Every structure is written in structure tokens, then in C-alpha cells.
Amino acid sequence: MNAKLDRRKKYTRMMLKESVMTLLKEKQISSITVKELCELADINRSTFYSHYADPFDLLTKIEEEILTDMRQTLGSYNFSEEEEALQMTEKLLEYVADNRDVCQILLSEHGDPQFQQKVMKITEEFIMKHWRSIHKADQKISEYMSLYVISGSLHVLKEWLDNGMDKSPQEMAELINHFTNYGLSSPL
């Protein structure tokens, strides 16, 4: 009996997740109603409220799942050399590619801007920490460099998703790593 209930709960949550992702393609989360979600997921309102407080709660849970997965993916590697930082960037891009639809929507204009900030923080935790240790600089300058690199990389990532991932994760990692380490003055 419990397995049947668990399966039903998983199915309901999956349908609500798909429904909110579908609606986020068209509008902001603040414009999405519980009624719309329930109609699209083909569930009743009481079922929705047994899982989530509101559409924002649903979106937050989806974002938390993605961020936890990203941390686990990146945390499973112990990179310390430049080549390893390249591999970590590639692993992050592979993760994004594997979760393309959700990541593209969450990073879009209809996604939560706080999600982008959280992705930037994870990137700094895992990738920029090593980069800053190599390029010794004053703390404030280091923060500015980190913000510059991560912001640019995030916009490159969004463009890559919008272009249908026209390059492999490895090619994109090499490109991002090259810009991070050598800037625009060094040819590719």
C-alpha cells in the first residue's frame, strides 16, 4: 500500500514540476496560479496543497533539487590543478546539458533571478576557489575578478543553451577556461 502511495506522490510531483516548467516558458512565476497548475497537471487543488504551499514553493523545491544535484556532482571531484578545473567546468556543463530543459527555463527571463545567484555561488565555491588561489590578489580585487568571470560564464552558458548547445560540454569548458585564464588578448 505504501509503495502505491509513494508512486502516486512521485507521479503527482512530477506532473506539477512539468506543469510549472511548461508555464514558466510563457510567464513569470508570479503570474502562475494554482488553478492553472492543477488544470495542466490534471489534479485537484487539495492535492496540490498537500504537496506545496503555492507555486513559489514548488519552484523553490525544483531549484533546491537542481542545486543539490550540482553540488553533489561537483563535490564528487577533487580538482586542484588547472587541468582539473577545466574538467570540473566540463562536468558542470555536462550536468546542465543533461538537465537542459529545466536549466534553460530556470535561467531564462521567466526564471527566478535568485536561482542565478545561487548557481553563481556554487560555481564560486567549486571552481573559482581554485582559480583565486593560483592568481594571488587582494581580497576585494579577487572578489571582483570572480564576479566578472562567473557572470560572464553564466551568460555564455545561457547563450549556449539558447543556441541548442551547438558545442560539446568539453568545447564550451575549454572556451570558458581559456577566457578565464587568458582573457580576450590570447587567440584560441
Read off the CATH number of the domain in which 20 is found.
Answer: 1.10.10
Do 31 and 71 lie in a common domain?
no
| 86 located within any domain | yes
| 188 located within any domain | no
Do 46 and 64 lie in a common domain?
no
Do 42 and 112 lie in a common domain?
no
Task: Name the residue among 78, 175, 180 with its Cα closest to residue 132.
Answer: 180
Instruction: Express each pLDDT in 134-156 by its tens digit.
Output: 556 667 777 787 788 888 989 99
- Rg of the chain taking only CA atoms, in angstroms: 19
Query: What are the φ and ψ backbone dihedral angles of 31, each rounded to 5 degrees?
Result: -95, -5
Q: How confident is the model at residue 62 (pLDDT cuts 50, 70, 90)?
A: very high
Q: How confident is the model at residue 111 (pLDDT cuts 50, 70, 90)?
A: confident
Looking at residue 107, what DSSP letter applies? T
- Which amino acid type is present at position 138? D
Q: Which three cell numbers stand for residue 64?
A: 533546491
Do 44 and 71 lie in a common domain?
no
Do 166 and 101 lie in a common domain?
yes
Do 13 and 87 lie in a common domain?
no
Q: Where are the alpha helices (DSSP H) in the chain?
A: 2-24, 34-41, 45-51, 55-75, 82-98, 100-106, 113-123, 129-134, 139-162, 169-182
Do 126 and 74 lie in a common domain?
yes
In terms of residue numbers, what domain contains 135? Answer: 59-182
Do 42 and 96 lie in a common domain?
no
Number of domains in the chain: 2
Supply the pLDDT for residue 27. Answer: 94
Q: Is the pLDDT of residue 163 over 90?
A: yes
Do 70 and 120 lie in a common domain?
yes
Supply the pLDDT for residue 131. Answer: 59
